Amino acid sequence: MSRIQPPPGTDSTGEMPLDSAPITVESSGGVAVITLNRPTKRNAVTLAMWGALAERTAELAADPEVRVLIFRGAGDHFCAGADISELTNGPGGEYARINWAAEEAIAAFPGPTIAEIRGNCIGGGVSIATACDIRFASQEATFGITPAKLGIVYPTNALERTVRLIGGSATKHLMFSGDLIDADRALRIGLVDEVVPAAELTVRVESYVATLLERSHLTQVATKAMVQEILTDARVKPTTTLKWETAMDQSGEVREGVAAFLGKRAVRWPWRRN
């Protein structure tokens, strides 16, 4: 995998300066990176950013060349949450609709999604991270779900994902208090999947993504769809099973995988999502 750099800062190259575009998108070699780009505000998400997240994620989901989607924050933090200055009248109405759409777009992306978390991951930052499939965190990362500090009733889509991920007790413990926890505790309760030193975070994410690109995208997309049905309905629907078994049979994925293994050569996966 060729390394995809974070958004550039202001320099003599003429590249886009930090904070000039609050959401940036890069795509290369089957991997897209969406970066929250308000580093001076610890990447706090405005209503406009929620809308852009929904739009950009949906666009990438419609592109069959994009296999993996990474979410990052510019600078030292992933996301400090929603921009509180926009919540003086509460997070309901149009704000709630756009916020909901953004998180659902992330969750609905058909391929693997990864949150690369450093620094603050608070409130809406946790909502973005839990909408992803996998979460890698740096050792100094800090996490919190803080609606109790503002009198907010947490959106049910984000609440449901959090409960599925870390369980009811851990969810209540975090949300009742609004307390912050460190990366080690986040790992223990299952909020993140791996914790690595800050200097190694991007390298570790890119190494994992390189492995994903070597594997069957059909297997990944089918697995994601079926796991979601298990989480929501406690079973995989027969129609879903038939859909993916048919795709497996008709695509030639297994024949190619076996032939490459026996021939000790690089695999050339034939399946592409539409």
Of 256, 198, 212, the closest CA to residue 1 belongs to 212
Torsion angle, alpha carbons of 143, 147, 153, 159, to 10: 0
Q: Which amino acid is at 66?
A: V
Listed by start position, the domains of the chain span 23-213, 216-262
pLDDT band at 23 (very low <50, low <70, confident <90, very high): very high
pLDDT at 7 over 70: no
170-201 pLDDT, tens per residue? 999 999 999 999 999 999 999 999 999 999 99
212-250 pLDDT, tens per residue? 999 999 999 999 999 999 999 999 999 999 999 999 999
pLDDT of residue 90: 65
Q: Do 145 and 103 meet the contact criterion of CB atoms below 8 Å apart?
A: no
Q: Which amino acid is at 162?
A: T
This prediction has a pTM of 0.90
pLDDT of residue 39: 96
| Distance separating alpha carbons of residues 173 and 129, to the nearest angstrom | 19
65-89 pLDDT, tens per residue? 999 999 999 999 999 998 888 776 6
- CATH 3.90.226.10 for domain 23-213, yes or no, is yes
Pairing of strands 113-117, 134-138: parallel
Sheet with 113-117: strands ordered across: 23-28, 31-36, 68-73, 113-117, 134-138, 194-196
